[in-house]
Homo-oligomer: A and B are copies of this chain.
Amino acid sequence: MGGTSGSGYADKVSRPSPAEDRELHGQVALLLSTRDQRYTAQRRQIVRALAKLGRPATIGELVEAATGVPLSTAYRNLSILGDADVVRRVGGADGFTRFELSEQLSGQHHHHVVCECCGLVIDAATSPTLEAALVETARAIAKANGFDVTEHRLELVGRCTSCRNTAAS
């Protein structure tokens, strides 16, 4: 396991170590070169920001974390990085698109926990039991509806600690 959190089950997905970080940029460069794209300073900044945040981030969070990358460049590069399977778009609970590193780069299949109050999204690992049930369901759905199901996304919706404390609402 990557950052080896130890507890393993349904825990917050861990942050990359420095060594993994170096490895990460190599992989990104490879993925980009496959599509005749350069790994420029701005793109590196964005990837670094994504890795540092360790959770699906909004454009606002990204341009803040990636110093000196303007909005238009961030959007364009996020789109390119998405085409190269470096980045995945995550539909937020609020109306904000969020971005995270693809699972082949972050290294772990995971799902999301969403705060319905502030829109915060964090990663969460799954259990083998859940995954087995999901795969089984996907197969049944595909059979029943003629869909070719290739992927599943799970969102646990609730309220984060700070929102629960701040507003009673």
- List residues of chain A with CB under 8 Å of any chain B CB: 7, 9-12, 91-93, 111, 113, 115-116, 122, 124, 126-127, 129-130, 132-134, 136-138, 140-161, 164
Cα A137 to Cα B152 in complex, Å, equals: 15
Which of A130, A142, A164 has the most chain B CB within a 10 Å cutoff? A130
Q: Which residue of chain B lies nearest to A122 when distances are taken between CB atoms in the complex?
A: B145
Q: Given contacts A152-B155, A155-B152, A157-B151, is CB(A137)–CB(B145) below 8 Å?
A: no
Cβ-closest chain B residue relative to A95: B97
Task: Give Cα distance in the complex from A33 to B115, angstroms.
Answer: 29
Q: Which of B10, B92, B140 contacts A10 (CB 8 A)?
A: B140
**Which listed residue (B122, B133, B134, B144) contacts A11, Cβ 8 A?**
B144
Contact partner, A153, options B126, B134, B154, Cβ 8 Å: B154
User: In the assembled complex, which residues on chain B have CB atoms less than 8 Å from the CB atom of A9?
Assistant: 140
| A161 engages B146 (CB within 8 Å) | yes
